[in-house]
Structure 1
Amino acid sequence: MRNQDRRQRLQDAAIEVLADQGGRGLTHRAVDTAAAVPPGTAKNYFPTRQAVLRAAAERCVELYDEVPRPVPADRESLVALMGALLADVAGAGRTRLLAYLELQAEAARLPWLAAIVDGIAAADFAAFEQAQRAAGLPVTPERATAVTLALHGALPHLLAHAPRTLAATGLHDPQGFARDLLTATYGPPAR
């Protein structure tokens, strides 16, 4: 296995460990086990816990950059896009998002880590503003920010999958939540 392949495998394993065990569970041994590599491999690539955190954060940025960003043609396609993104939290995106939230918690105490993960959130605000504009909505920076913050705020609830909270917030129906969010922010669709 090439060094770059092994490095990425270790980074992906660190993301898995963060998602499964949280920040406290992120150890070299746990990363080695998750990556199915000989003991000491993670320490060889990432000598300190902070180096492992940095590697996981950098990989999260890479994975975020690889996510396709379709451009919605209208309000309904934006609802469908937002609904699909919210539904993905319980599916394929779950591990990455859990790891990202763990990294954000760690970043509250580590400014150098905050600088890395901040790029993801900043890009999200720009991407969602662009999507709202493409959908033909009367976008202002404040409205675009409110929509993005609402989507971000929904993530922990979707990850926890608490049925009463999901029902109380409308998140049990991601498309309905997205539609209601746009109606609350922009008013009802024009007829």
Structure 2
Amino acid sequence: MNPARRNRLREAAIVVLADAGGRGLTHRAVDLVADVPPGTAKNYFPTRDALLRAAAERCVENYQELAARMAAAVPVDGGREDLVTLVRGLLANAAGPGRPRLLAYRELQAEAGRRPWLAEVLDPIAAADFAWFGQVLRTADPSVTPARATLLTLVLHGALTHLSAGGARTLDAAGLDDPDRFARELLAVALPG
């Protein structure tokens, strides 16, 4: 099978999930978005579960690529401003160019609630967040406990969910209408020193 076409179909599945949700993920919809002949997605991914797995695996790859770019672009050497830049960048990505991928990921998480095998495929994303962000915080302030780092990561996950939904009143109530202020206040709680 053609690896480039396979990746094109996986990317199309992510677009379908973001635009139409889990119920809209069909082989036909993926074919349309990928602009390939009818039946192509079914040839590569014969079942809906295979299509879900392909989308989830591509989400994990996309996450790893984004994490590597973020780590390279924002050198976190322990300075608070570097951390603010990092958090602000995560929020900006979720509200902007990363929003479709985040929506697709959320759809896959909902499907994973009914398909434990899918949760296993997606697990590296959140697991990596907890490990990586905890390390970043402990580098900035060695007194940060693992529990505090975990709570902060959970807060960020919740913030990303609200940003992807985009409800203006919710964003205002959470302080997410001003990502810079949100990042500063969040880090003030996490790193009070």
**Class of the TM-score when normalised by the shorter of the 2 chains:** over 0.9
After superposition, give the CA deviation of every residue in 1:53-74 in whole Å (9 maximum; x if it has no partner): 0000000111111112244121
Question: CA separation of 1:71/1:136 partners in 2, compared to 1, >3 Å: closer, same or farther?
Answer: farther
Distance 1:71 1:102 in 2: 32
Quick check: 2:112–2:119 contact (8 Å CA) kept in 1?
yes
After superposition, give the CA deviation of every residue in 1:25-71 in whole Å (9 maximum; x if it has no partner): 00000000010000000000000000000000000111111112244
Counterpart of 1:142 in structure 2 is 147
* Aligned alpha-carbon RMSD (Å): 1.2
- Aligned ranges 1:71-90 → 2 under 5 Å: 71-73=75-77, 74-90=79-95
After superposition, give the CA deviation of every residue in 1:82-104 in whole Å (9 maximum; x if it has no partner): 01110111211111111011010
Identity among equivalent pairs (%): 64
Quick check: 1:88–1:94 contact (8 Å CA) kept in 2?
yes
Counterpart code for 1:72: V
Counterpart of 2:122 in structure 1 is 117
Counterpart of 2:106 in structure 1 is 101
Counterpart of 1:92 in structure 2 is 97
Quick check: 1:75–1:137 contact (8 Å CA) kept in 2?
no
User: What SS is found at the alignment partner of 1:171?
Assistant: coil
Distance 1:26 1:5 in 2: 20
Listed as ranges, the gaps of 5+ residues in structure 2 are none
Counterpart of 2:17 in structure 1 is 18
- Aligned ranges 1:158-177 → 2 under 5 Å: 158-177=163-182
Distance 1:158 1:4 in 2: 33
What is the deviation of 1:137?
A: 5.2
Quick check: 2:144–2:190 contact (8 Å CA) kept in 1?
no
**What's the TM-score, normalizing by structure 2?**
0.93
**What's the TM-score, normalizing by structure 1?**
0.94
Counterpart code for 1:65: Q
Counterpart code for 1:3: N
Counterpart of 1:6 in structure 2 is 5
